[in-house]
């Protein structure tokens, strides 16, 4: 069974941690949102939240769930710590990726080119370059929320499309849903935003047996 790609989720989530202008009667211009994201993320500071992730294979109506916490120090670093049902962690800082399991003390580390990695390119490229790669739309959703959608103009890795749901009052992303090109759906429900209290969350942990790939 095809599996989800955490890097895509990490990168697409980073894009939309930005405020919307309150009181707008119409959905805002998606490219205007992206332009504001780049500056606001740099000023946001370390942030923590919780998530529930659901993976639904193509052709099914339900799937398996996982949950945990995330830490953000954008635009450079993101960390996802899965707790249930099985512990695992992913850390992306710059072009370095660390993936590990605290229980068995094993991990992998490797490098990615964020300019050419689907999803991670969204962190580095300017709005003009993004317009060449993606189609973007925004639409009003239930409960005063907004959906922001990105669709690649051409095939880029495994990403098919992504939709992020934004709460304009809290100025936060509350849901991420994306399909791969095979039709598998990965969905994140995100809540409990607040300042990141623990230090050292953006360095690989000590005591892990690392394998370079």
Helix, coil or strand: residue 196: coil
| 116, part of any domain | yes
| 52, part of any domain | yes
Structure confidence at residue 6 (pLDDT):
60
Q: Which of 24-33, 80-89, 108-117, 148-157 has the lowest average pLDDT?
A: 24-33
| CATH assignment of the domain containing 123 | 2.50.20.10
Domain extent at residue 86? 6-196
| 209, part of any domain | no
Structure confidence at residue 115 (pLDDT):
66
| 210, part of any domain | no
Place of tokens 């690989």: 204
Residue pair 7/64 in contact by the 8 Å Cβ criterion: no
Summarised one tens digit per residue, pLDDT across range 84-96 is 999 999 998 888 9
What percent of the chain clears pLDDT 70, i.e. is strictly above it? 75
Q: Is 202 exposed, middle or buried (0-12, 13-18, 19+ CB in 10 A)?
A: middle
Q: For the chain, how many structural domains are there in total?
A: 1
Helix, coil or strand: residue 210: strand
Helix, coil or strand: residue 7: helix
Summarised one tens digit per residue, pLDDT across range 1-50 is 455 556 555 555 555 443 444 444 566 887 776 666 566 656 778 888 99
Q: Which of 12-21, 24-33, 138-147, 196-205 has the lowest average pLDDT?
A: 12-21
């Amino acid at each position: 069974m095809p599996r989800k790609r955490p890097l895509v989720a990490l990168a697409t989530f980073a894009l939309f941690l930005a405020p919307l202008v309150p009181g707008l009667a119409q959905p805002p211009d998606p490219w205007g949102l992206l332009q504001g994201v780049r500056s606001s993320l740099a000023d946001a500071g370390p942030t923590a939240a919780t998530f529930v992730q659901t993976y639904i294979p193509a052709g099914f109506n339900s799937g398996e769930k996982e949950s945990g916490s995330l830490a953000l120090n954008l635009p450079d670093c993101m960390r996802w710590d899965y707790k249930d049902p099985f512990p695992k962690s992913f850390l992306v800082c710059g072009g370095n990726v660390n993936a590990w399991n605290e229980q068995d003390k094993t991990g992998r580390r490797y490098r990615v080119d964020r300019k050419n990695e689907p999803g991670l390119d969204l962190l580095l490229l300017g709005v003009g370059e993004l317009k060449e790669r993606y189609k973007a739309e925004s639409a009003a959703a239930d409960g005063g929320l907004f959906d922001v959608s990105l669709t690649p103009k051409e095939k880029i890795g495994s990403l098919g499309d992504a939709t992020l749901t934004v709460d304009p009052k809290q100025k936060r992303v509350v849901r991420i849903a994306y399909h791969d090109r095979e039709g598998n759906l990965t969905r994140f429900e995100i809540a409990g935003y607040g300042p990141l209290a623990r230090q050292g969350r953006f360095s690989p942990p000590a005591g892990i047996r690392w394998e370079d790939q």
